[in-house]
Amino acid sequence: MDYDPKDLQSVLLYMRRKCGVGVFEESRRMVSMLLDLSPGLKRDGNVLRQMSEAGLLRELHAAVDTGGKHDRQRVVMKSRSYLMDYLQLPDGRANFYMTALQVAYGLAVDMPSQPVTPSEPPPPKPQSKSAQPAPPKPIGTGHTGDCTWTLESSGVLTISGHGKMGNYSYINQSPWHERSDIYSVIIQDGVMQIGDYAFLDCKSLKSVDISASVMQIGSHAFCNCESLTSVNIPNGVTQIGDSAFRFCRSLSSVHILDSVTKISGWAFKDCKSLKSVSVPGGAEIDARAFESITHIELKPMPKSQPTPPKRTGTIMDSGRTGNCTWTLYRGVLTISGHGKMENYSVENKSPWTWRSDIYSVIIQGGVTQIGDDAFSLCQNLTSVNIPASVTQIGKCAFYACTNLKSVNIPASVTQIGECAFDGCESLTSVNIPASVAQIGRHAFLGCTRLTSVSVPRKAEIEKYAFDPNTHVLRR
């Protein structure tokens, strides 16, 4: 043997000689997996790497070879899920390698059955009145770029997580490529880009739900999804890649909002059922984008719209804030998670204080408190979405957000902290619900364009909570 399987450094040197430097990219998960597979390997948290398929197979082999019969059985049982999760191999190849290990070591392992791929969903079985339908079972899962994918037995493929999906191609195909049992795709909130060739040739796909967090639809993303009948492209998407919906022959309805600034070549070519489409007048549209479409209507260009920042890359910035997570991408700052945001101050500023490239703040459901000084001095912020899970808006939370024009405070909020919206000089409209019991000192001071506001009669209003120009109506 060319290496000592009990010594991690020895294994790494062997792999470097056999596979080259390129396979040793950062991957903490792969090191953890190897430590779990072969307990004899020494822990070395500084060694981060990404193995090739051949490298992973060698390590699986070594882990089985050095263990007793019980350990061998455990490793072989795990090998299929590792091959699928870490290398995203399709079921057939993962099963092939698993069978090879089984035969090599004479182990009896129950092979998972292959999922049935009917042309239509099977009819539901009759149930008694007392029986509850079982939840759909996942028949496939894994990673795609920064995100996770899950395919349920009901034919629903869900993409979740934060960031970009993986990009694929005709050669490097997605794990679910050409599956005939995918009828619906759900892109959950947090996913920011639909990858190239992501759903190519999903010919049974009939519906797709794209969340408002998506900014870009990649090249050939839904190409040849011939059963897809309609698409609603949410406000937030700025680019539709080349051939994104090409050959979607059943597509008869597309809703494109004003956020779209670029539509690339052949994006909707050969969509034979799509007879007309309305597109933003200010968008850059390739001359071949709508080939074969008989009627194209250009919408009037919006009167005013903040220009998105010209940045490259995927997630511009991200991190933790209290019990939550923050992500800044293409001008949208998203707060997600469960619990309170961190409280900031003049001395302890938020990571995004004074940033001029924040135009929108989205606080997702689950966040319960907006921290002190959370978004103060975000002077280009024009819109904020506060969910019904928030109960408290902290001190100076939106202090000096001079371009913020309107705020809808949900009925869950009970307290608005002092100086929360102080200095928001463009604020002309604010909805304060009956749930608000306390409005802190200087909460809306300096909101010189807020001419009137309706406040619950029971609410405690501290001194100088509103600007002298604001007429406060009790209700």
For the ranges 58-72, 143-157, 166-180, 291-305, the lowest mean pLDDT is seen at 58-72
Q: Which two tokens stand for residue 80?
A: 């299929």
Fill in the DSSP letter of residue 449.
T
Residue 122 forms part of a structural domain: no
Containing structural domain, residue 87? 8-105
Same domain, 251 and 144: yes
Task: Verify that 273 and 328 share a domain, yes or no.
Answer: no
Kindly report the pTM of this predicted structure: 0.41
Q: What is the dihedral of CA 36, 60, 52, 176, to 10 degrees?
A: -90
Strand ranges (E), 173-252:
184-187, 191-194, 207-210, 216-217, 230-233, 239-240
**Residue at 400 is within a domain:** yes
Task: Mark whether 294 and 389 lie in a shared domain.
Answer: no
Gyration radius (Cα) of the chain, Å: 27
User: Is the same domain home to 389 and 341?
Assistant: yes
- Comparing 76-85, 204-213, 311-320, which segment has the lowest mean pLDDT? 76-85
Q: Answer whether 349's CB lies under 8 Å from 375's CB.
A: no
Q: Residue 251: is its pLDDT beyond 70? A: yes
pLDDT given for residue 30 in this prediction: 44
126: in domain: no
Residue 58 domain-assigned (yes or no): yes
Strand 295-299 versus strand 276-280 pairing type: parallel
Is 116 within the bounds of a domain?
no
Residues 71 and 213 in one domain: no
pLDDT for 371: 95
Mean pLDDT, residues 179-188: 92
Report pLDDT for 213.
86
Contacts of 172 (CB under 8 A, 6+ apart): none
Q: How many domains does the chain have?
A: 3
pLDDT digits (tens, 9 = 90+) for 10-44: 554 554 444 433 333 323 334 444 444 444 333 33
φ, ψ (nearest 5 deg) of residue 247: 65, 20
* Proportion of the chain above pLDDT 70, given as a percent: 67
C-alpha distances (whole Å) from 412 to each of 295, 406, 432 are 46, 18, 11
118, pLDDT greater than 60: no
* Mean predicted lDDT score pLDDT of the chain: 76
Block residue for tokens 């004479």: 106
* 332-365 confidence digits (pLDDT tens): 899 999 999 999 987 788 888 767 778 999 999 9
Give the CATH number, domain containing residue 345.
Answer: 3.80.10.10
